[in-house]
Amino acid sequence: MCGIVGYIGNKDAYPILLKGLKRLEYRGYDSAGVALLNGEISIYKKKGKVSDLEDHVRGKETKSTIGIGHTRWATHGEPNDLNAHPHHSEKGLFTIIHNGIIENYAVLKKTLMDQGMSFYSETDTEVLANLIEYIYTSQDVSVESAVALALQKVDGAYGLVVISTEDPNLMIAARKSSPLVIGLGDKEYFIASDATPIVEYTDRVIYLNNDDMALIRRDELVLKNMGSNGTSVNIQTLDLGISEIEKQGYDHYMLKEIFEQPRSIEDTFRGRIHPDTNEIRLGGLHAVKEQLVNAKRIVVIACGTSWHAGLVGEYLIEDMARIPVEVEYASEFRYRNPMIGPDDVVLAISQSGETADTLAAIQLAREAGALVLGICNVAGSSISRETHAGVYTHAGTEIGVASTKAFTAQVTVITMIAMMIGKEKGLLSEDRFAKLISELNNIPGKIEKILEQNEEFRRIAEIYKDATNVLYLGRGVSFPVALEGALKLKEISYIHAEGYPAAEMKHGPIALIDEKMPVVFIATRDSSYNKIVSNIQEVKARNGVVIAIVTEGDTAIKEMADHVIEIPETDPVLVSLPSVVPLQLIAYHIALMRGCDVDQPRNLAKSVTVE
């Protein structure tokens, strides 16, 4: 969601904040702002990208060694200069940046207005700034106490940083649900909503816990917990290189991340699959393996692309491990009084590990007594901490808002889980298991071959870039791939696209088919191959345009389809890994040709920390 950065030390704060905001821009990009404290507070804010803010600030006074910055993804109030963060209190004593939502802001605002306070923006954050100031001036307490008392009155989620002219050598950070990390330098501290702005200055970090409040001065950091937990200070070493968060010669992060997939998939299975002993070892699940293997039911909870990975998981786990699987949108699960109990294993999938709905669903499942496991990409994230056990995907930092390499890494992990259970239960023979391990090992090489066809994908994109609707169809594990292909296209090119199980086409989408609508089939060879060939014929019989992803050497579909994309032959269990790649690249090229901002599509955010 929004991005937070703060600096206190002896260096010039503004360049550090600006660079940090550029690194954080993938989290939100409708407006940006900085506040610099140098005796007085200077606040600069601008609707649009961080580069618009940079233009706006050029030539203005920026001297300061303490400051805060924010990139916004609007929740309360439209994106404009006024609603951008930082927000200041009425008298200007307090300035604040905030991620999350203050749910009772309307009630608080009314109370403050009744006390005569006035407001300039529509945001919940300004309400908090004024609440802090009101408590500070009316109760004669310290800056620290005013912030703590104000936060006691707040319902909702926050990751926030406050600076004040009343105590100009202090920066206060506080967290409830919305992540914050503090970087420890030499007589300097960095604070951010994720580690990307910090990594080039220090690798020593502290992730704040829920209800933590950090009082940060140049030579001192004091951590307190405002809840009942007490806080434990755990200094960690960042496992993140600067090269990971740069584009490294690619035009866009999304393109870089698509091309990283051979490596990110390999990083995800390396050290976990053991062809020599014919084993899969997932260290994070070791302690709960028995419970997992004997699960009566597995419930997957996730959002967006991670939900699609969960759907692939449903096919794989039911097929190989014979455990019934239900795949739930976290946002639905949490609000519908779900049937869940101690016999269930819940598998939460999340790239960021911070998605608010997934976190809330985890909480609910834990309270109901279920064993909750996580598949996360971001180490130390809230979801990885709130689950009982889990497996990290080692996809590396994903910055493009449209998820690509995280999806294939998630599918890799779920495949390993399904195989591990299947073998443990004696459902997969030693031979079949060995074959699957060797097939998994070969996936990166197969994806390399697909990436070599990028020019062909660009050519197909050129032909269909002006489409207004696109239908994606697949069966079995290729149905979630169809959903994911459609999601990629609509997210970044704003073309309406739908994914459907191919056979369901007859119950609705077939009515849409005409010579203008491209229909993308994922039609690789598996047990339902003949059925999908029939579906292609049904589309062709109605003058539809067919783009088909097929197994290398397929001649039958070549004769019917307008375009075929050949991918190397792959065991049907693993085929979603290579088959999604052409869809990612076609969406990328179409978006680019339509002049869309590929890495930062409108209205979307990388990590959705509000419901």
The binder of ligand G6P chosen from 21, 195, 298, 303 (CB under 6 A): 303
Q: How many CB atoms lie within 10 A of CB 369?
A: 12
Q: What 3-state class would DSSP assign to 297?
A: strand
Please tell me the distance from the alpha carbon of residue 136 to that of residue 396, in angstroms, as a whole number: 44
Is 609 a residue that touches ligand G6P (CB under 6 A)? no
Query: Using a CB cutoff of 8 Å and minimum separation of 24, what contacts does 386-391 make?
Result: 386/359, 386/362, 387/348, 387/362, 388/288, 389/284, 389/285, 389/287, 389/288, 390/284, 390/285, 391/282, 391/284, 391/285, 391/416, 391/417
Ranges assigned E (strand) in 303-434: 325-329, 344-350, 371-376, 389-392
Is 478 a residue that touches ligand G6P (CB under 6 A)? no
69 CB-contact burial (10 Å; exposed 0-12 / middle 13-18 / buried 19+): buried
Is 264 a residue that touches ligand G6P (CB under 6 A)? no
> x-or-dash pattern for ligand G6P, window 356-375, by CB under 6 A?
--x-----------------
From the candidates 2, 303, 376, 596, which is the catalytic residue? 2
Least separation, in Å, of the C-beta of 607 and ligand G6P? 5
Q: 27 or 88: whose CB is closer to ligand G6P?
A: 27
Is 352 a residue that touches ligand G6P (CB under 6 A)? yes
Residue 189, sorted as left (phi over 0), alpha (psi -120 to 50) or beta, turns out to be beta
- The stretch near ligand G6P (CB under 6 A) out of 84-92, 121-129, 352-360, 510-518 is 352-360
Is 384 a residue that touches ligand G6P (CB under 6 A)? no
Least separation, in Å, of the C-beta of 310 and ligand G6P? 10
Ranges assigned E (strand) in 226-265: 235-237
From the candidates 45, 49, 423, 606, which is the catalytic residue? 606
Encode burial over 162-187: b for 16+ CB neighbours within 10 A, e otherwise: bbbbebbebbbbbbbbbbbbbbbbee
Token pair 């180490």: residue: 379
- The stretch near ligand G6P (CB under 6 A) out of 211-219, 298-306, 446-454, 512-520 is 298-306
Helices and strands (H and E) in the chain: how many = 19, 26
Alpha helices in 58-115 (DSSP H): 105-114
**DSSP secondary structure letter of residue 598:** S
Least separation, in Å, of the C-beta of 375 and ligand G6P? 9
Query: Across the strands, what pairs with 167?
Result: none
> x-or-dash pattern for ligand G6P, window 549-588, by CB under 6 A?
----------------------------------------
Is 178 a residue that touches ligand G6P (CB under 6 A)? no
Q: Find the residue with minimal CB distance to ligand G6P.
A: 304
Query: Is 606 among the catalytic positions?
Result: yes
Is 75 a residue that touches ligand G6P (CB under 6 A)? no
Is 600 a residue that touches ligand G6P (CB under 6 A)? no
Angle at 293 between CA 298 and CA 369, to 5 degrees: 50
Is 304 a residue that touches ligand G6P (CB under 6 A)? yes
Q: What 3-state class would DSSP assign to 566?
A: strand
The binder of ligand G6P chosen from 83, 95, 121, 355 (CB under 6 A): 355
The binder of ligand G6P chosen from 417, 608, 609, 610 (CB under 6 A): 608
| Interface size with ligand G6P, residues (CB under 6 A) | 15
Please tell me the distance from the alpha carbon of residue 407 to that of residue 309, in angstroms, as a whole number: 6
Is 350 a residue that touches ligand G6P (CB under 6 A)? yes
Is 123 a residue that touches ligand G6P (CB under 6 A)? no
Q: 292 or 605: whose CB is closer to ligand G6P?
A: 605
Q: 310 or 518: whose CB is closer to ligand G6P?
A: 310
- The stretch near ligand G6P (CB under 6 A) out of 22-30, 197-205, 349-357, 451-459 is 349-357
Q: 28 or 284: whose CB is closer to ligand G6P?
A: 28
Is 71 a residue that touches ligand G6P (CB under 6 A)? no
Look up residue 356 and give its two tokens.
């608010």
User: Which parts of 389-448 interact with ligand G6P (CB under 6 A)?
Assistant: 401, 403
**DSSP secondary structure letter of residue 321:** I
Is 604 a residue that touches ligand G6P (CB under 6 A)? yes
Encode burial over 327-366: b for 16+ CB neighbours within 10 A, e otherwise: bbbbbebbeeebebeeebbbbbbbbbbbbbbbbbbbebbb
Query: Across the strands, what pairs with 607?
Result: none
Least separation, in Å, of the C-beta of 155 and ligand G6P? 23
Is 312 a residue that touches ligand G6P (CB under 6 A)? no
Token pair 């926050």: residue: 158
Least separation, in Å, of the C-beta of 305 and ligand G6P? 3
Q: Which residues are catalytic?
A: 2, 606
> Which spans of this chain sit near ligand G6P (rule: CB under 6 A)?
303-306, 350-352, 355, 358, 401, 403, 604, 606-608
